[in-house]
Amino acid sequence: MDRYHQFEQNLVSSLEQHAQDPFQIAPLDTWNPRKTASPERHAQLGLLSGNTIHQIRTLLETQNASFNDIESLLGIRYTVKEYTLHPIAEQVWLFGATVLSNYLQLLTMPGAIRSEFYRAKHDKLLGLLKTACCEQPEKRPTFHQLLREWTGKAVRNDDGFAAHETRDDDGPAMISPPVAVVSSPPLPSSSRLVLNVPPWNAERNRTRRNLRN
């Protein structure tokens, strides 16, 4: 089995597992700008640590590899606003960031851009991950929607009926993270890998704004 076929199998398997039980990845509980976490969790943990939104954004831009990868491949630059934490939407973002990191490793291997997967599914995958890593939690798709978009199939329960995700019934959306103080000076910005971004990124707005209310 070639590595591209294995990558897609792992992608589908992960989507199926998340669709059956969304909570597969433990969220960050103590703030560290270098760690992988959704932008809304970084914002809340960073604010509780005594930082301003501007400081949080600067540390993430200079120290966070996941945010650099997302900007380079998906064309998303986060404003790091205060959004309400939603458990499933957060898992969708973590899934997207994890898959993107694995795919980036695949792209560094010899012959990646000449592979059949790259020719046939590269743009489709980046489009899928762009929706999963959307900054606004309420605009991210559910795992069932992601699975259906990639495979054209819906997950079914043991009784044979199609499963559905209903975010309104998932319990409290707000999660209060613990207070944690992290003193970490900004590091020099490292070189970012910039690959060809699909045409749907052409209208990306790179204007920086301070949206702290």
Range from 10-19, 83-92, 147-156 carrying the lowest mean pLDDT: 147-156
Gap between the Cα atoms of 68 and 64, Å rounded: 6
Residue 42 · residue 82 · CB < 8 Å: no
Tell me how crowded residue 66 is: count the other CB atoms within 10 A of its CB: 22
| Predicted local distance difference test score (pLDDT) of residue 155 | 65
Structure confidence at residue 204 as a pLDDT band (50, 70, 90)? very low
Q: What is the DSSP letter of 162?
A: B
Q: 80: phi > 0 → left, psi -120 to 50 → alpha, else beta; which?
A: left
Mean pLDDT of the chain: 81
**pLDDT of 170-189, one tens digit each?**
433 333 344 343 344 444 44
State the burial class of residue 20 (Cβ atoms within 10 Å of its Cβ: 0-12, 13-18, 19+).
middle
**What residue segments make up the domains of the chain, in order of their start?**
1-14+35-156
Tell me which DSSP letter residue 33 carries.
T
pTM to 2 decimal places: 0.75
